[in-house]
Structure 1
Amino acid sequence: MTEPLYHLVPKDSWIEHQQSRKPYFPPTYDQDGFIHLTKDPNFLLGVANNFYSSKDPWEWICLRIDPSRLTSEVRYEPAAPVGNTAPPTGWKEGALEAPVFPHLYGTIDFDAVTAEHAVRRDSQQGTFLNIEGVT
């Protein structure tokens, strides 16, 4: 297996797609044009808290993905908005040592997912606290 990629997804949505075998696309795919991933697990909690903590009460999981099993193209690009939510200001294109992130131009193949990690959140604030086995 090559170095894994990670994707955060509401647990119910992922289970629904697995059971129906319907290709998975996040709700912002049409607007964004790709699925947001990360290669560096150190970014996961920051990404989750920037884009998702105040928006929903859902239970989330983190998918560990083997990129060699993906059938759609992965491009490494600067941080981009998720829907209408901008990336953290320190990640603007052109910033010193701005990270690039893997963007998947297609669906996540079910066979590419090698693990599903539970995500723990603060029950009052919705803040993402840790991802079991990852952070």
Structure 2
Amino acid sequence: MDKPLYHLVPENSWLSHKQSRTPYFPPTYQQDGFIHLTKDANFLVGVANNFYTSKDPWEWICLRIDPRKLTSEVRYEPAAPVGDTAPPDGWKDGAAQAPVFPHLYGTIDFDAVAKEHRVERDAETGSFLSVEGVT
């Protein structure tokens, strides 16, 4: 488990937690029971556009995480909803070629974050376009 993991987060939320050193949990953590991650950077823009475009107009960043420095359990499981938003049909459990995703059952340790990448969005539509230095 040496390859990096990635997590998309609203920049203001992450910076607030990082500055105050309070544990970071996304707003859907209680409902979902874990933090959504990906090990494949090629999924980042698709994930962002499926789950976050219509909800969140603010700036986002992508955390590059060193899984060896996480203290909470990571489980590789089928794609799951983020809050009330379902994953794309092709990613649903039982779909042919459905990918599995890392789910973190706890907080993201600040020391596990190797880099913060800027996320580029379309100013008019809010669509996610790329993750600087990753996609």
In structure 1, stretches of 5+ residues that fail to align are none
Partner of 2:10: 10
Q: Distance in 1 between matches of 2:132 and 2:9?
A: 14
Deviations 1:47-101 (CA, angstroms, capped at 9, x unpaired) = 0000001112110000000000000000000000000000001111111121000
- Runs ≥4 residues deviating over 2 A: none
1:19 aligns with 2:50: no
Give the number of equivalent residue pairs: 135
Matches within 5 A, 1:36-55: 36-55=36-55
Q: Percent identity?
A: 79
Tell whether 2:69 aligns with 1:66: no
Instruction: Determine helix, strand or coil for the equivalent of 2:49.
Output: helix
- Counterpart of 2:18, as a letter, is Q
Letter in 2 for 1:52: Y
Structure 1 residue 45: deviation in Å? 0.3
Q: Does the residue aligned with 1:45 lie in a helix, a strand or coil?
A: helix
CA distance in 1, matches of 2:69, 2:19: 20
Q: Which residue of 2 aligns with 1:110?
A: 110
Is contact 2:76–2:101 with CA below 8 Å preserved after alignment? Answer: yes
CA RMSD of aligned residues (A): 0.8
Gaps of 5+ in 2: none
In the alignment, is the contact (CA less than 8 A) between 2:90 and 2:97 conserved in 1?
no
**Of 86-95 and 113-122, the range deviating more from structure 2:** 86-95
**Aligned equivalents of 2:93, 2:19: Cα separation in 1:** 38
* Cα distance between partner residues in 1 of 2:2 and 2:90: 28
TM-score using structure 2 length: 0.98
Please list the CA deviations of residues 22-52 of structure 1 after superposition, one character each: whole Å capped at 9, or x if unmatched. Answer: 0000000000000000000000000000000
Separation in structure 2 between the aligned mates of residue 51 and residue 92 of structure 1, nearest angstrom: 14
